[in-house]
Chains A and B, each alone.
Chain A
Amino acid sequence: MLSTKVAVSALFLTTAAFLAPQTFSAFASETAKEQETLKFGPKVTSFELDNGLQVVVIPDRRAPVVTHMVWYKVGSADEPPGKSGIAHYLEHLMFKGTKTTKNGEFSAKVAEIGGQENAFTSTDYTGYFQRITPEVLEEMMRLEADRMENLVLTNEIILPERDVVQEERNARTENNPGSLLREAMSAALYQNHHYGIPIIGWEHEVNALDKDDAIAFYDKFYTPNNAILVVAGDVEPDRVKELAIKTYGKVKRRAEPGERMRPSEPPPRAARRLSMSDHRVRTPSFQRQYLVPSYRLAEKGEAEALEVLSEIFGGSTTSRMYRELVVKQKLASSAGGWYQGGSYDMTEFGVYGSPRNGKTLDDVEAAADAVIAELLKNGVTEKEVKRATKKLINSAIFSQDSQATLARIYGGSLAIGSTIEQIESWPQRIGAVTVDDVNKAARKFLKLKRSVTGHLLPGPRETAKEG
């Protein structure tokens, strides 16, 4: 096996938009975890252009490399009903040319200097980036600003791309029973919010998306006052400001998307259970997700407490879940938990486990329930809280080593409603979490009625498409 970093880089060279849906949710949770950065890291500059574009500059002068990113505050959860997948499809189509730039021309400019590029879509934001040398930053800014308002689409170009998206869905979801179950679990967890709809879209709806859908979505949300520009790396803030005014500054305010009001969740009243079997499953697995608040929606200190709770409960091999289910009881081959705080609206606290050979899913679920029950009854310890907070804070220091990571932390956090001050104060807030905070959060949110539980089992081929 090779290091993830190398293999992933190699992968991104050949697959456009690979960071797209699922991966991105993973990153959203890291985002929160790594926000420590600023306390130790570079001094960030921020300003706004007259057209409403927010600009953030993060200096990192160690190598002649710049990371240039534009984040739009729109994601799959902002899609109109019946048009699932349009946010992600549009992300693919943004590479197809403008009034003055031919299809593929922007990408060719990036490749010409050995740069990297990609784009991604989450439930809450859509991002585009290039990693380049400083001397071409201006040209990248010009081209990125150009496609903020001048996108041109023709059927000849966009129809094959819809097939590409379907192949992406095949690779990520249709070929993977675990992904199919996750889709079903999300649909059950969110009873009203569009988070219950997959980012990549339902297959039948994606098949019907057309040029007009893409342009309507583009015209509604792709506008400087709904975007954040992040430039990290070997460049002076003043230079970025000058270039930003010269390029993005010329883009007109194209729309007023207004406040993001999505359909919100009613109080959860019923525990939900799903079971899916598939001929491709060899090792069963158990998952549960509880509906919990994100950093943006949580009461003061609550999200930070959930973050620490997830570490203690299931974040590593010293966590309660791993020690109890894997080490002590020898029931599971893997077990843990997570919290994905980087979300605009409500979000999830997750629990998972997979039985060791010879043990059952029910054994694993019962043991996980016992770990949760014990935690709720007796609470966490001072020592556990200290260890978890230190670990979270350390992870933030490590993130300083990567300008790309810093750029994603800032862009991703700002795109879901954080402020720079909140990003900067994250380590202090994590450090302030007490035993009492963690216990309160656990008791408030780890209730079965807030959850959906999924079992993935070996079985006959019942998930095959019918017809």
Chain B
Amino acid sequence: MTTKTLLLAALLAGVALPASVLAQDFNPDASIRIGSLYEPQNLDNTAGAGQGINEAFNGNVYEALFQLTDAGSVEPKLVESYEASEDGLTYTFTLKDGVTFHSGDPLTAADVKYSIERVTSEASKSSRKRSLSTITGIETPDDKTVVITLSARSISLPYNLSYVWIVNDAATDITATEDGTGPYSLSEWRRGSALALERNDSYWGEAPTNAEVVYTYFTDATALNNALLTNAVDVITSVQSPDSLAQFAGNPAFTVTEGASTTKELLAYNDRVAPFDNVKVRKALARATDKARLLNSIWGDYGTLIGSFVPPTDPWYVDLTGVDAYDVESAKALLAEAGYPDGFEFTLDTPDYDPHPIVAQFLQSEYAKIGVKVNINIITANEWYTKIYQEKNFEATLQEHVNHRDIVFYGNPDFYWGYNNPDVVKLVADAESAGSEAEQVEKLTEANKIIAEDAAGNWLYLYPQIVVSAANVTGYPINGLNSQFFAYDIQKSE
């Protein structure tokens, strides 16, 4: 699917949902049952709870100072107003009035300070810790005011703060309980099975359009699909293959929506080691990859081709699919120029879960055409983290990268793939300390073009993001679902 039709689909879905809601009454006391593959390991997103906790809790149970909307913009949530000093090193936030935690305690500046420090603390497992490392101090002159000082300008501060849950500083044991300010509170949790949220009747904002949300967890994608087919759940958030989609598409009992995804399938080289330290070799492999055929063989008509690490929803996206387009002859010529006229051999460390093994086999047969022999080495996800991410002991690997705005990884020469281009390092740093968003976008767009020209990695495709629901359920989010799934607008008619 091209970008244009993707946007069109999202637009149509956005227009169609409210219209169908107007046409039918919904039950304000409905229970919405969501089927998911991502069970939280515990309930604390700074304690290694995994992706699942964000899906269940972000915006539903916990709120942040800012919120990343389904449309992708960053908007104030628990802040009434804020201002940055001239030099961009001091931010002053004024908190909203009348906000209370589920325990009944009022929201104060001390809670905000406590919550941010939870993420930046020594024990924090949060992947946002690095991006908040410019924070040097948090002051609370009064109950409603928080002053954050930075060591360097950080244009992404509001965006990064949208991932920081505001937790009651008096809360204990939040790996198994919660105390947030959101429209739902946790009512029940059965490990390995399900987690239920109930409407918070003293919520400070607009009340949810349903009374309860139950996330049911599955380890098997087929079992997840079966649950929707048999009406055991109302919505499933991640369809794993086009085959399973066939049972829902064209069936009037279900609604299939394709939203904007940020999950990229990446062939990452270790740019530190030969022959991948040679840009010509990397470009040759890019040109030898028929990405359109790969995407089609895995996802049929779904998914999007990308020319770099940036998904179309990031502000610094430009269409770079033309850079190193599929061309086997020029790939061979480049290899010869690079000093490998007869090709070479490398080991591809491949995570053992879908779609990586299939992608690896595809690449193996593609690269055989230019004389490059791929040895596939299957590893577990856990092993990947030790061998590749920590020890950087690999030649090439496959990985799905789920976050938006993660082009900044290319500005870190110590990152696992070892891409080191001083221009990009500088552009990424300058973008963060930019005085305006326009300047940030300009710098990162430039960085984006450079990594594409350098073939820093081989960006194979963007996963489709498909939500399937029962036809009587509407109002759920469809975009950027790796980090959140706002449930409060979901409506269910009888």
Query: Bound pair: A and B?
Result: no
Residues of B near any A CB (own CB < 8 A) = none
Residues of A near any B CB (own CB < 8 A) = none
